[in-house]
Structure 1
Amino acid sequence: MTELRGEALYWEAFERLKSGKAQIIDTNSPSFKFTKDNVAIEAGKKKGFVKQERYPDLCDSIENTENTRCSAASRDPENSDSIKLITSQKKKANARYSKLKAEHDLCLEKMMNLLRENFELRRELQELKKSSMQ
């Protein structure tokens, strides 16, 4: 079976992803996965260009490679430690975000109260000026 030019492009991109020599996709990212969309992006196309009906062999290879990567990652204790580290960092970031959001909301409330008070004082001042002129 002869490969079409498009399919060859996707296979080359897939091989670059497998070898870690990708040009567009960051294969060192903790969120990296072998997906049809990542292969398409690495090939310089948009998401959705690699489809099961068009390239069944390629899609099967992508799925098998991802399954192999997942099973190897679950057996690797170093990877488990990095996942725990990332999870704890995410929890800390979320806690910090919640704290900052609460502080921000409190500051907004104070600011709104000051604006209301300022408005009321200006109105009172205008009324006093009107009454003193009469």
Structure 2
Amino acid sequence: MSEALTEYFQALERLKNGRPTRIAKGARINNDNVALEADRKKGSIKKSRPVFKDLIEAIDASAAEQSSPEKQMTRRLEKTRGEAQGYREKWEQALCRELSLLQEVYALKKELASLRGVDILPLRPKKPC
């Protein structure tokens, strides 16, 4: 197998794995995108050339797999889970900041009370019964 053909197959694998280096992530798998990912000109993979027969078959199979509804739903679910995880992390960070600020307020009230010579004021006032 020639070096150029090897580069085309490597580009196809990167596209299938969702890790392209030269084109946009999530791009459809077709002859032109495989050529561009392999750092070749658009249209360089031609059906009329017998050397590309196996490559074109692999591209067509990958394109059919990429467009299957199960794959699309799986990708959408993974994306949604990632977003949910990101929001959870932001929420936990906000809680940590809140707790840190409450501790700082308590420490400052304690210091102020010791300077004034009075008891520490509670963070939350007691509710009347």
Q: What TM-score range do you get, normalising by the shorter chain? A: 0.5 to 0.7
Cα 1:83–1:109 change in 2 (3 A) is: same
**Which structure has greater helix proportion?**
1
Task: Please list the CA deviations of residues 27-81 of structure 1 after superposition, one character each: whole Å capped at 9, or x if unmatched.
Answer: 445266431551xxxxxxxx5xx5x6xxxxxx75x24259x939x72xx6x8534
Aligned counterpart in structure 1 of residue 83 of structure 2, from 98, 102, 106: 98
The ranges of structure 1 where at least 4 consecutive aligned residues each deviate by more than 3 angstroms after the TM superposition are 15-18, 26-29, 31-34
Aligned amino acid, residue 35 of structure 2? T
Task: Look up the match of 2:97.
Answer: 112
Name the TM-score, length of structure 1 as normaliser.
0.51
2:5 corresponds to which letter in structure 1? E
Q: Distance in 2 between matches of 1:87 and 1:37?
A: 22
In the alignment, residue 101 of structure 1 is paired with which amino acid?
G
CA distance in structure 2 between the partners assigned to 1:16 and 1:106 by the alignment: 46
Distance change in 2, residues 1:34/1:94 (3 Å): closer
Distance 2:102 2:5 in 1: 66
What amino acid is the match of 2:73? S
Specify the SS of the correspondent of 1:64. coil
Identity %: 2
8 Å contact kept, 2:35–2:45: yes
Which residues of structure 2 form unaligned runs of 5+? Answer: 19-28, 119-129
RMSD across aligned positions (CA): 3.7
Structure 1 residues 15, 131: CA separation in 2 closer, same or farther (over 3 Å shift)?
closer
1:83 equivalenced with 2:67 (yes/no): yes
2:46 corresponding residue in structure 1? 64
Count of paired positions: 95
1:1-134 equivalences in 2 (<5 Å): 12-17=2-7, 25=10, 27-29=12-14, 30=16, 33-35=33-35, 38=38, 47=39, 62-65=44-47, 69=56, 73=60, 80-84=64-68, 85-132=70-117
Contact 2:11 2:34 in 1 (8 A): no
